[in-house]
């Protein structure tokens, strides 16, 4: 599914794991907007006129933040811990909606922010 879509990913966090994930997504052809100033919340994806946003419980968000901030480099990467986290069942809410005007606006604003930051 990831390789078949041409979606855009917004990333505001700048941890080692975020950067590692973004490098992977870029290698498979995804467009990444990476800046703390982005116009959309973390974990927003745009595919054409569709916008997908994920919402996590406070507990899950804290667990993810802890996991992501603990890993400062590849030596800190504990694959067992990461595997346990990713295979543990979590309730995640998502909203998918179609709004061409908003999708275009988010893309353009993100592109402008990222280009100004270069």
pLDDT tens for the chain, residues 1 to 118: 455 656 677 777 778 888 888 888 888 877 777 677 776 667 888 888 999 998 989 999 899 889 888 999 989 989 999 899 989 999 999 999 999 999 999 888 888 887 887 5
What local confidence, expressed as pLDDT, does residue 94 receive?
A: 94
Q: What is the pTM for the complete model shown?
A: 0.71
Strand ranges in the chain using DSSP code E only, listed in sequence order:
8-11, 31-34, 44-47, 50-56, 92-98
Domain locations in the chain as residue ranges: 8-117
Q: Are 51 and 97 in contact (CB under 8 A)?
A: yes
What local confidence, expressed as pLDDT, does residue 1 receive?
A: 47
Buried/exposed code over 80-111 (b: 16+ C-beta within 10 A; e: otherwise): eeeeeeeeeeeeeeeeeeeeeeebeebbeebe
């Amino acid at each position: 599914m990831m390789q078949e879509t041409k979606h855009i990913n917004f990333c505001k966090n700048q941890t080692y794991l975020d950067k590692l994930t973004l490098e992977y997504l870029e290698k498979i052809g995804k467009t990444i907007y990476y800046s703390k100033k982005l116009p959309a919340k973390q974990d927003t994806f745009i595919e054409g006129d569709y916008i997908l946003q994920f919402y996590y419980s406070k507990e899950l968000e804290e667990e993810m933040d802890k996991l992501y901030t603990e890993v400062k480099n590849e030596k800190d990467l504990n694959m067992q811990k990461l595997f346990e986290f990713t295979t543990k069942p979590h309730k995640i809410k998502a909203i998918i909606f179609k709004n061409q005007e908003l999708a275009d606006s988010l893309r353009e604003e993100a592109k402008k922010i990222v280009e100004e930051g270069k």
